[in-house]
Structure 1
Amino acid sequence: MNDRIRTLHALEQEMGILMRRVRRALSERAALVHPSLQPSSYVMLAHLIEAGPRRSADIAEAFDLDKGAVSRQVQHLVELGLVERTPDPADGRATILTATTEAKDRVDQVSRLRIEQLDERLAEWTAEDLDELVSRFSRYNATLDER
């Protein structure tokens, strides 16, 4: 096995570790927002907060998910009081989903806590180290997005 292949295997292993950490972090964040919130619904809620009010179809497209799966998660978010539905003024058959103020406040609080934790854990990293990591992750993601 040549060095490049060995390095690519190492990259795959590190990405696997990262994905397990991300799953755990999402579970923790979701529970902090609401004890009954599922991690996948947390991701959807965070997207809705960042992107602004959306139709379910827009969320399904953004996450490349089946509309039925999105509908079930949206219903769960509505039941938890984290998302509100309002009629779409452009299409009476559709609804617009909006994160509640409470949801925005809770997600913001969780985000601030996570940034504080990251800052603490990465205290020995220089600004240049962090910039380089972000730059390389950005390049990696952009390359994988190319089709």
Structure 2
Amino acid sequence: MLTPSAPRLYFALLLGAFTGCTTAGGVSLRSDGSPGPEKCPEEALKAMQILGLGVGDGGGVELDVNQADDSPITLYEGPIESSLNYSLGPLSPATRLYGRVWAGGPQVVIRYYEAHPPNRTKIPICAVARLARGQMKKRPESKPGTAILEYSSAGVFVVDAFR
């Protein structure tokens, strides 16, 4: 069990070791418009190791902070700001997750590249938003470059590479 000072130590280590922003630039697209494979940057793998985040660790996320608790929601292709509803390892609720939305395929794809805990510095991560039973599938009335989803929240899961 982590003591109250343990997360502070993790964040202090990360503050000294990691700065800057990891982006999703240069990701190739599949024929259906969904993003292709992408390696998790080495600095994100190191940060997640320091935080004790492993592949498959998960939590809950409000997909778009501007549409919290709405139904349905519209996501736009490009950058996204989400918020943790539940802890993800040492990352507390209200931690912001920054990533990118791809809306070109039959399902929306959301990849997260940064976490910004309250009152802390940004941390590079690799995580994805997921829902079971095809619930990340876009509604038929979604226009190009958008994804209309029934739910505003999803699961978020740590990965070591985007597939």
* Structure-2-length-normalised TM-score: 0.28
Query: Higher relative contact order by CA 8 Å / sep ≥ 6: 1 or 2?
Result: 2
* Structure-1-length-normalised TM-score: 0.30
Which has more strand, going by share of residues?
Answer: 2
Which has more helix, going by share of residues?
Answer: 1
